Structure 1
Amino acid sequence: MRGHSFIYSTLTYSTLMAATLALPFAAGTAQAQVPLNARPAIGGQVDAQHQFILDYAKQPGVEMSTNGVAYRFLRKKEPAVGQQPNPSNRIRVHYEGRLTDGTIFDSSYQRDETAVMSLEKVVKGWVEVIPRMHVGDKIEMVIPAEMGYGQKGSGDGVIPAGATLIFKVELFEVMPGELRSKGAG
């Protein structure tokens, strides 16, 4: 049975890579190109998650980061002026995080309060895409597990191992420096 698993994995990987390479040429329109390093990890769960990203990347206006984060602007200031965050900044945002099945795992909207966070302390997918935003922009990101919580998940069972994450983020403010921990003086 192990041989069948290997063959299935090889065929799935080959199919995924063929779809990845064909993606820019599909439908004759400009679409996001999935980088070759955005490969499926181990098992059918992750393969399905990567397929979700490939399907999302076919939608109009979707771009792809170097490490396989698919994103599109839901609201973009025109002309694109104003402050943009860098990885050493704190940011004030509204956001919603959900899984591919639609389960919301975190939402500042539901708490009715914006969140302030250090960009250095969020998942890698945010660090790669949020600096492309200007204050006032709203973006949707589809983050592969490798750029999110990986094969371990969040540890509390809320985000499963190998999960692709979907975030909507509104950027309200960019602030210098790292977020101070509670009790720091």
Structure 2
Amino acid sequence: MRTVIALALCLTLISCENNAQDVSDLSTKKDSISYAIGLNIGDSFKQQDMDIDLDVLLGGINHALAEEEDARLLSKEQIQAVMMSFQQEMMEKQQAKQEAAGKENKEAGEKFLAENKTKEGVKVTESGLQYKIIEEGDGPIPTDKDKVTVHYTGTLLDGTKFDSSFDRGEPATFPVTGVIKGWTEALQMMPVGSKWKLWIPGELAYGPQGAGGQIGPNQTLVFEVELLSIDGQ
């Protein structure tokens, strides 16, 4: 999460001599820069669900740009206290939101996996990893000491694609133990030349933290993986 302090530094770059107005034309470089900064700040406010009074915020910027200490309604010490309190509230709010999303994703994943494991060809390991053999290779099987080269596509349960080596136009190479737990387990069962479909529970993927903006907390992930080779073999 971007800090409120970083946002405040960006905000001071905006000219606020007039109240906010509709923008329909960006005729100068300064206009484009100002508008881009404004969009970034607005998007950040929305993403963090900030409850901000825009008029008061602009008033604070005006007072800061005026460089008149007497115009300020808060001392530096008061500003620091307010910002620290606000950041704490935002952190707690974000944590609660993350936990709620994690619970929802975990329940959705468990429901899906319970149904998916009954489908033809789907196998389940002791850890809860589910997989289906699409093509069975006849090459060697990697160990936890190996580095492998694979092609893969990763999606969420709703089909949203979040990563694909095919889209990048080249396979990926990494240590067997350098990926999420579900991958590490699956790779040590796959002969080179195999193509499998994996359904990986959240606890074997990115867990309660999720990954970036695309993979939420405790989300079950789906991969199609083709094991191309083991380095050195």
| Range into which the TM-score falls when normalised by the shorter chain | 0.5 to 0.7
Instruction: Work out the CA distance in 2 between the residues paired with 1:112 and 1:163.
Output: 26
1:1-185, aligned counterparts within 5 Å? 43-77=103-137, 81-154=138-211, 156-175=212-231
- Greater fraction strand: 1
Structure 2: tracts of 5 or more residues without a match? 1-101
Structure holding more helix per residue: 2
Aligned-residue offset at 1:43: 2.5
TM-score between the two structures when normalised by the length of structure 1: 0.68
CA distance in structure 1 between the aligned counterparts of 2:103 and 2:150, rounded to whole angstroms: 34
**Alignment partners' CA distance in 1, 2:181 and 2:126:** 12
Partner SS for 2:207: coil
Poorly superposed stretches of 4+, deviation over 2 Å: 42-45
Task: Encode CA deviations 1:101-137: one digit per residue, 9 max, x unaligned.
Answer: 1111110011111111111110000111111111111
Give aligned-pair identity as a percent: 35
Q: Tell me how far apart the structure 2 counterparts of residues 127 and 94 of structure 1 sit (CA, whole Å).
A: 15
Structure 1 residue 44: Cα displacement: 3.1
1:145 touches 1:163 (CA, 8 Å); kept in 2? Answer: yes
- How far does residue 151 in structure 1 lie from its aligned partner after superposition? 0.7
Does structure 1 conserve the Cα–Cα contact (< 8 Å) formed by 2:151 and 2:227?
yes
CA offset at residue 157 of structure 1?
1.4
Using structure 2 for the length normalisation, give the TM-score: 0.54
Q: CA RMSD in A?
A: 1.5
Provide Cα deviations, 1:10-34, integer angstroms capped at 9, x if missing partner.
Answer: xxxxxxxxxxxxxxxxxxxxxxxxx
Per-residue CA distance 1:127-172 (angstroms, 9 max, x = gap): 1111111111100000000000001101x21211110010100011
CA separation in 1, counterparts of 2:144 and 2:164? Answer: 22
Mapped to 1, the partners of 2:167 and 2:104 lie a distance apart of 32
Number of residue pairs matched by the alignment:
132
Report the structure number with the largest CA radius of gyration. 2
